[in-house]
Structure 1
């Protein structure tokens, strides 16, 4: 004689949380909007004298490529907010796929490739040059890996790598904040550490920002990814 058991009822599908249950999404959108409103308009005039980065002398293509880099980076930052928004990702899957393609092909890939050129020709010294080259190459690499994971339908890995790509996309914002803090901290040392050169101090502050911001955001991202692993918050069994 056989005994049959009714299968346990399937768990109801998880509903996407509304935006107000994700308290970080609105501050993120406001920060991105404020940053872009401050940073982008000078480049829309196509006037090199308004550029916040000094074009190398005699390099005629630097400024047009810098403008393109800024515009593609703007596309990346705006679409990244929708990519990282859980409610949009869950409730608008087609929109998520479309903005994802725009993020990769109309944002990160061209911005990162141009960033390699812009970074190589920076006037802020070798430390900033190396940081910009490493940052652009890393941004390009993690985004391509994330795209490849999606095409292989390895969506868990896709989310991890695109989270890292998002962190690198937003590192420019944190870099500006760190730059200001570093400038304030280093200014009293202009006459001692920097031999009276305010320009050298500014290059050092910029170097701290471009190195520290992606490192901090990548560490934070991987920490959050580890916390979200199944069982990551389970208490250890008692002896």
Structure 2
């Protein structure tokens, strides 16, 4: 009888862990699939294949470097959230975290500045990228400092926010067709007057802002939900 009583809660915990992993597995599959699509235009790096209009070789080199360092951040960040790595291999978790910061987020955020300035998408798009970049650096520094101070609960919260920002660029790919569906029917109206340049600017800017806001709202909503769950008796 004692064996039955002990096995039931154990089975329940295993089932709960499995249910909690499904969202992470789904996120991993969608992230990797989107990343493969995004990288397909830059492997190998040929300027004529670039999805972003580039202003010469220098701009293209900076763009490719930004994309590949962002890829490092995306993949290492995804690994960081895997529960088994944190629980069973803390040393690997720490080194993966260092790769995320120093080979991914920080160089990619620095490279994003000249790429943003040179990209021909207008001030609204530049503002979205600039806000994303600043928040990306701030949350990364806050997360790193919390880990160094061994404030691991704060570290986890900051890293959830930071990784949401990392995924913002991927999320914009899903918002681009939505913005196109909204804007293209207005193409011949008085606002756009069939200008492909203006239409392209608004699609790029709208998807950039939407992805930034939506990913941050989702991250904060998740954190608030966890806080409420922990406060329940």
TM above 0.5, yes or no, is yes
Contact 1:120–1:132, Cα closer than 8 Å, also in 2? no
Deviations 1:74-94 (CA, angstroms, capped at 9, x unpaired): 111111111122232222211
Structure in which a larger fraction of residues adopt helix: 2
How far the C-alpha of 1:233 sits from its partner, in A, is 6.1
1:101 correspondence with 2:98: yes
TM-score by length of 1: 0.85
Structure 2 unaligned blocks of 5 or more: 1-9
1:206 correspondence with 2:204: yes
Alignment size in residue pairs: 220
Distance 1:231 1:187 in 2: 44
Distance 2:131 2:17 in 1: 37
How far the C-alpha of 1:232 sits from its partner, in A, is 5.8
Structure 1 unaligned blocks of 5 or more: 1-11
Query: Aligned residue for 1:139?
Result: 136
Contact 2:35–2:170, Cα closer than 8 Å, also in 1? no
Query: Aligned residue for 1:25?
Result: 24
Query: Aligned residue for 1:183?
Result: 180
Runs of at least 4 residues of structure 1 off by over 3 A?
15-21, 230-235
Query: Aligned residue for 1:74?
Result: 71
How far the C-alpha of 1:219 sits from its partner, in A, is 1.4
Higher alpha-carbon Rg: 1
Distance 1:172 1:182 in 2: 15
How far the C-alpha of 1:234 sits from its partner, in A, is 3.6
User: Which structure carries more relative contact order (alpha carbon 8 Å, separation 6+)?
Assistant: 2
**Partner SS, residue 169 of structure 1:** helix
Query: Aligned residue for 1:7?
Result: none
How far the C-alpha of 1:110 sits from its partner, in A, is 0.6
Deviations 1:138-184 (CA, angstroms, capped at 9, x unpaired): 11111111101100111111111111110001111211111111101
How far the C-alpha of 1:53 sits from its partner, in A, is 0.8
